[in-house]
Structure formats: C-alpha cells, structure tokens
Amino acid sequence: MQRRTFIATATITAIGLPVAYYFKKRISKGDPLTTAQMLSQFCDATALKEIGIAYRILVPTENEKQKLTDLVLAGASGKKVKASNWSEVEDLVAQKIHAEFLNKEVIIVKGWIISKTEARQCALFSLT
C-alpha cells in the first residue's frame, strides 16, 4: 500500500467512526421527549402508543401536545430545559422519573405502574 493511500484511509476512518457512532447513538435512542427509555425496553411502539392514548383519556387536561411538552420539560424548580438539548432533557427526565417513584407519584395505565413523566412521554409519543 502506498503511503498516501494509507494516510488517506486512516484519516477517513479516524473521522468516520466517531461520526457514525454519534449518529447511531442518537438515532437508536430516539427523542428523549417522546421516548420512555425504560418502558421502551419492555414495550413495542404500538403498546407505548396505547399507553399514551389511555393516559390522555385518564387525564383529559393533558390532552394537548404543548401542555405535555411543557410538563415534561419543566424541572422541580419550574425551570424549563430546551427540547433541542437532548442531553439535558435525558438528564431531567431521568431525575424526574426517579423522584416520582421515590415519592410514589405513579399511575397505573394499561396495567403498567409508571411514573407520571413516563406516562406523559407515552402521551406525547401517541400524538406524533
């Protein structure tokens, strides 16, 4: 192999692998606003939509996309994170779910015991 070919191949590989990994990670996880991470490990997309629809029927005051988005993105202090910042949304959602289970702020929807935030994520998912 010629030196020039080797350097070009190594450079493309060095740049391409991290970029491919980044996009694979982003695509496979889905939008943290509408994807209940833990619940999606047990349920398929159809079941998640059914949970979301059932939650919207149980709580008709939260039957709007903007209302659900605001509730999911609001922190304990009332400060909202930007939906475009996925890492902040993931962190906030994980903290909220953990706190809701600790405080027994759970709801039973379609036989699943889930946090309110997970239910709201499913409701958002059912609206998309």
Q: Is the same domain home to 17 and 71? A: no
93-111 pLDDT, tens digit per residue, is: 999 999 999 999 899 999 9
The whole domain housing 100 covers: 31-127
Distances 116 to 3, 55, 65 between C-alpha atoms, Å: 59, 9, 15
Q: Is the same domain home to 19 and 74? A: no
Q: Is the same domain home to 71 and 121? A: yes
Sign of CA dihedral 80, 44, 46, 38: negative
> For each of the chain's 128 residues, which pLDDT tens digit applies?
677 777 767 676 667 656 555 554 444 456 777 777 778 888 888 999 999 999 999 999 999 999 999 999 988 777 888 888 888 888 899 999 999 999 998 999 999 999 999 999 999 999 88
Q: What is the DSSP letter of 110?
A: T
Q: Is the same domain home to 59 and 86? A: yes
| pLDDT at residue 17, rounded to an integer | 58
Q: How far apart are CA 35 and CA 43, in angstroms?
A: 11
Q: Is the same domain home to 17 and 38? A: no
Q: Is the same domain home to 25 and 35? A: no
**pTM: predicted TM-score of the whole model, two decimal places:** 0.72
Q: Check: CB of residue 70 under 8 Å from CB of residue 78.
A: no
What is the number of domains present in the chain? 2
Q: Is the same domain home to 46 and 103? A: yes
Q: How far apart are CA 39 and CA 61, in angstroms?
A: 23
